[in-house]
Structure 1
């Protein structure tokens, strides 16, 4: 399996979840072994972040990366799209200190990456493979990992809410599965939490346009859900994005119960710190299954690529 990147430079603008202000990202091709590279343009200069678990500096509402000088928030949906579509190398320019929330899913980023076109490079893909079982548990919530030739997730959530309850979904993550089963699943939250956040100057960009919002009894979005189990699907999407801060893709089977950004990152930091016990770097055979070309443009007109 060969490493991949994108062929074209594309960009998009949107509202930031935290600030409520417009931000812009530019996605550029990158050479072999670059991995995922963020360059942050803050108005007073530029700095770079190559993600690893220890550079996650906050997990409240979203995942935030920082290098001690600058930070960038709400990275998980784009990172999920990058890893979910099998992209190894990409340069992500961010004009602002967060990524746009778009519609609260990874769908607009999938559309944008489709316009950029995935291409193979000349070197074989490297992965970090789980070599033995690990059980990481905190307060009854857990992430368990097992050796597996691929990337598989078995995720369970359990919310005391009539529209959510207990939901379980198991998937072997491939580009087609990610696009068909996960990419359009939106983030979700509860009205009382949203009202509290807004009252305290937080999540100023959050709205019914970019999240599924629930009151005590039902869903407030007029169009309802995109999947009957959209909640657990989005949790899987978040997990893929949170695991993508490893320097190369992870390989393994993961069983997760009631996790979120904080536990995801705590698990990954533990795995990273104990890599010699649980992980092995492997080079995959040169074989790449290209992502099926489904037209998402009518669903996500805001993610229109603009020539660089």
Structure 2
């Protein structure tokens, strides 16, 4: 399988890097620079790294406040999730290795996915991070009044095409809504799911932004808690990102949402829809939420940096 080949390549690269790193503390060295040793055999000085060592890179991502959902199912049929602190060992966790791993050749955290297990409110699969302000818990979230920012550098280097040769889409960032327990009980729901106010797609080599708007802006506070009260509004950035690196920045504040691509083009949403969205709690998501159900399709998303601020 494609992912298995990729994983084998990365594993070999990591093993080579480990061997190189292990030799750094030894008195014997293949470097051209002189290494001076003391009488007890300890090396001193700071020799320059070899070319092989210099190319070994790791992504700039702190996973302490993220859990990940995978496209494979547990025994109960629900997608497998790995939460903090277990997610911090993703590089050696066999559950995660095929789907979330380091590409040390360019310093990326790779998210690979294909059609498989899906969550209760979706028909698509994902390898996607979900923010957890309190590690291991979904119950502590944030409102627009409290605010939040997410910034990332990423790329979509591989994605399958449909029968017409058009690439499938994948969602790379989200702000997802969440009902409080009181709101859930008020409208008689059996879970805390609320609509995602923001979904950012990689779509046909461009970045497409979906936000939620009310079907009826005069609806009651109770009525707008339902997912059926909202519909999508779509905008697309003009820049073609293709399969190259690009940066995204999201800033949410009271009654306002801002989305920027490469610090050069920005969409601002500041209207009645954003004002009324303030009723919901929210959390950030990032990764690879692949919108295909066709067999033998897949997508790869690479994250080089990811940061959340509140």
TM-score by length of structure 2 reads 0.29
| Bigger strand fraction | 2
Structure number with higher helix proportion = 1
Q: Which one has a bigger Cα radius of gyration?
A: 2
Per the normalisation by structure 1, the TM-score is: 0.29
